């Protein structure tokens, strides 16, 4: 009787401690054919590729030390299947984590039938439901080759871009879509897109070896001319153990035109309140780690973070945050309808100039290019340059992730005004989970001389057409050449003199980057003149 009593207490305690844990195993495809449930039918194939989705739900934030595996059972034999060892399962700051698997099941492991299950292990073992496996059914349709390099993003989201492939003798590297149009890494997408890595070499050769697909989910698709206002602020760079501050968000709204036959349909604006905050660790994405990257370092819901604002928990890891707007707050699937805000960085830093130093202050004319800001280097680290106009509020410079950086005059309307910009660099040492902040460099862009003020270059930046205009009737440009940042002369697609005072250049054929226009300026009726140099940015 006493033994039964002790056994009953043990069962009660086990049930109590396991309450709220749940491991769910769902099949999504067999040999490329979509499925929505079991059993898994191997048909007459000797081996089959099976796509699985595993979701683990815990009553409290469990940490990231637990492991996730897929097992097969046939009689008394229990084994981890091929490609079924998923390693550590990342929860971040949430109570729910998901992992996708593409496992191989061999027919010889199942005499007539059997089953598979998922196991989450963190001191205690938690198992999913059993998913039956059969091999006496009709073989599924042969697979269509899938693209494993696919990222699922919210409406208005920006992809996570891999690092560019390293080559010798590179002239430029950029991202393009199927139409060959250049894509910036901060571009927001509202429709699916295929993104390609393009490398142009110094000899003119072009290579496009790598591709990934960015799938964008729908959001309020029944609305016409939909616009979403969903904004959060500001980036936080925290020194010496400083606690994160609250990330503030606006009242999100959607604006659309009413579906009517009226020539001017009414514009309707409505508030949106189904918030869900997400976070991810800022970890470098490379082509060699892209397959399992999104399961570990992709965006994940923060449990309970459904308010208009959010205060991050303290972490020694560099983090990114965004705020989603959900159509259905109960939908937790990867393809749920949602729209995203901008992204905010929250990065803990230490100042150690032996690890991260940049140089030097400069004063340059606004119509000239500043010299590169150079920084110390080290192996196994990653860089991010920051810019500020007031030396207080700092913003990351998109695509400025190299050891050195060449400053450009940002955010100005009048090309002839003076402007001061501040720069610093973050070094991410992921081997030690330490982020080093550099010193600050100041660049003063002075107004150009009076002579150069007679020449206007616009629009700048440009994607195609560039105007060179002299604002004095007595001044003309008799010759002009364009050079790139390496000093090589390049030729625009066309160079058309509209009048003595206006020339139009078609620079659509040039690679994105910084260019110099060297012009010989003369006074009409005189052979004497001077050489002027201006810069423009081709986007």
Q: Is 302 exposed, middle or buried (0-12, 13-18, 19+ CB in 10 A)?
A: buried
367 and 415 in a single domain? The answer is: yes
pLDDT at position 526 is 58
Selection from 456, 491, 486, 451 nearest residue 470 by Cα = 456
Tell me how far apart the alpha carbons of residues 380 and 296 are, in angstroms, rounded to a whole number. Answer: 20
> Last residue of some domain: 344, 378, 394?
344
The pLDDT value recorded for residue 112 is: 56
56 part of a folded domain: yes
Same domain, 88 and 225: no
Residues 510 and 531 in one domain: yes
User: How far apart are the C-alpha atoms of 521 and 518, rounded to whole Å?
Assistant: 10
The domain of 320 spans 147-344
pTM: 0.58
Q: Give residue 493's pLDDT.
A: 86
Residues 179 and 255 occupy one common structural domain: yes
Instruction: Say how many CA atoms lie within 13 Å of 92 toward its Cβ.
Output: 27
Is residue 358 domain-shared with residue 338, that is, in the same domain?
no
What's the helix, strand, coil split of the chain in %, to 5? 5, 45, 45
Domain count, the chain: 4
Rounding to the nearest 10 degrees, give the CA dihedral for residues 162, 165, 166, 169. Answer: -130
Strands 362-365 and 441-446: parallel
Domain contains 464:
yes
Give the pLDDT score at 76. Answer: 62
Are 307 and 248 within one domain? yes
Establish if 301 belongs to a structural domain.
yes
Q: Are residues 372 and 459 in the same domain?
A: no
Strands 489-490 and 131-134: unpaired
Last residue of a domain, one of 82, 112, 134: 134
Q: What's the whole-number average pLDDT of the chain? A: 81
Q: Is residue 418 included in any domain, yes or no?
A: yes
Q: Is residue 357 located within the same domain as residue 338?
A: no
CATH number at residue 13: 2.60.40.3880
Answer yes or no: do 167 and 312 share one domain. yes
pLDDT tens by residue, 261-285: 777 888 999 999 999 999 999 988 8
SS3 441: strand
Give the residues of the chain that fall short of pLDDT 70.
1-20, 36, 75-76, 111-113, 136-149, 365-369, 379-380, 409-417, 447-454, 471-475, 478, 485-487, 523-531
pLDDT of 18 reads: 43
Give the CATH number, domain containing residue 486. Answer: 2.60.40.10
Rounded Cα distance between 380 and 29, Å, is 38
What pLDDT sits at residue 100? 84
Please state, in angstroms and rounded to a whole number, the distance separating the CA atoms of residues 435 and 383.
10
Angstrom distance (rounded) from CA 33 to CA 133: 16
Please report whether residue 142 resides in a domain. no
**pLDDT tens digits for range 215-253:** 999 999 888 889 999 999 999 999 988 999 999 999 999
Rounded Cα distance, 43 and 138, in Å: 5
Tell me what pLDDT residue 45 has.
Answer: 72
Q: How far apart are CA 496 and CA 197, in angstroms?
A: 33
* SS3 state at 362: strand
Q: Are 317 and 281 in contact (CB under 8 A)?
A: yes
Of 88, 111, 134, which residue constitutes the final position of a domain? 134
Q: Which of 206, 213, 212, 211 is nearest to 167 (CA)?
A: 206
> DSSP secondary structure string, 225-285?
EEEEE--EE--EEEETTPPPPPBEE---EEEEE-S-SSSSPPEEEEE---EEEEEEE----
Shared domain check, 104 and 251: no
162 and 128 in a single domain? The answer is no
CA distance 149 to 190: 19
Cα(424)–Cα(384) distance, integer angstroms = 9
d(CA 302, CA 277): 6
What pLDDT does 7 receive? 43
Q: Is the domain of 292 the same as that of 400?
A: no
Nearest CA to 133 among 118, 113, 119, 117? 113
- The pLDDT assigned to 485 comes to 67
């Amino acid at each position: 009787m006493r033994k039964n009593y002790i056994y009953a207490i043990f069962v009660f305690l086990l049930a109590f401690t396991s309450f709220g844990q749940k491991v769910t195993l769902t099949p999504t495809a067999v040999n490329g054919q979509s499925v929505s449930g079991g059993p898994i039918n191997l048909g007459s194939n000797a081996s089959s590729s099976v796509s699985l989705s595993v979701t683990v739900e815990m009553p409290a934030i469990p940490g990231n030390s637990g492991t996730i595996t897929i097992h097969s059972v046939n009689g008394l034999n229990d084994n981890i299947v091929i490609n079924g060892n998923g390693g550590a399962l990342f929860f971040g700051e949430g109570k729910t984590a998901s992992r996708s698997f593409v496992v191989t099941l061999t027919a010889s492991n199942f005499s007539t039938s059997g089953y598979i299950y998922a196991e989450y292990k963190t001191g205690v073992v938690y198992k999913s439901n059993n998913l039956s496996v059969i091999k006496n059914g009709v073989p599924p349709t042969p697979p269509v080759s899938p693209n494993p390099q696919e990222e699922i993003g919210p409406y208005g989201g920006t992809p996570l871009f891999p690092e560019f492939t390293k080559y010798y003798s590179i002239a430029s590297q950029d991202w393009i879509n199927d139409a060959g149009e250049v894509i910036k890494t901060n571009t927001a997408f509202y429709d699916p897109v295929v993104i390609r890595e393009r490398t142009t070499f110094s000899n003119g050769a072009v290579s496009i070896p790598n591709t990934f697909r960015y799938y964008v989910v729908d959001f309020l698709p029944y609305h016409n001319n939909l616009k979403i206002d969903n904004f959060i602020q500001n980036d936080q760079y925290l020194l010496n153990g400083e606690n994160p501050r609250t990330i503030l968000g606006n009242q999100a709204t959607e604006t659309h035109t009413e579906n009517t036959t009226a020539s001017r349909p009414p514009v309707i604006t409505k508030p949106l309140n189904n918030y869900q905050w997400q976070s991810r660790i800022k970890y470098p994405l490379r082509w060699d780690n892209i397959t399992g990257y999104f399961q570990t370092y992709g965006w994940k819901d923060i449990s309970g973070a459904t308010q208009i604002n959010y205060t991050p928990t303290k972490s020694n890891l560099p983090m990114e945050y965004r705020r989603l707007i959900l159509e259905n707050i109960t939908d937790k699937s990867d393809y749920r309808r949602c729209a995203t805000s901008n992204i905010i960085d929250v990065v803990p830093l230490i100042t150690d100039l032996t690890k991260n130093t940049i140089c030097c202050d400069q004063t340059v004319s606004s119509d000239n290019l500043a010299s590169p800001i150079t920084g110390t280097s080290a192996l196994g680290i990653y860089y991010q340059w920051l810019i500020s106009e007031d030396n207080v509020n700092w913003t990351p410079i998109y695509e400025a992730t190299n050891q050195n950086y060449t400053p450009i005059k940002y955010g100005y309307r009048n090309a002839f005004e003076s402007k001061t910009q501040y720069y610093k660099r973050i070094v991410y040492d992921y081997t030690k989970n330490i982020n080093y902040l550099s010193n600050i460099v100041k660049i003063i862009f002075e107004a150009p001389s009076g002579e150069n003020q007679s020449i206007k270059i616009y629009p700048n930046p440009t994607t195609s057409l560039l105007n060179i205009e002299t604002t004095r009737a007595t001044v003309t440009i008799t010759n002009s050449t364009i050079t790139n940042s390496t000093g090589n002369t390049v030729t625009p697609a066309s160079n058309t003199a509209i009048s003595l005072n206006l020339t139009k250049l078609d620079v659509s054929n040039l690679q994105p980057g910084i260019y110099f226009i060297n012009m010989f300026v003369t006074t009409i009726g005189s052979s004497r003149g001077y050489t002027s140099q201006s810069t423009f940015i081709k986007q």
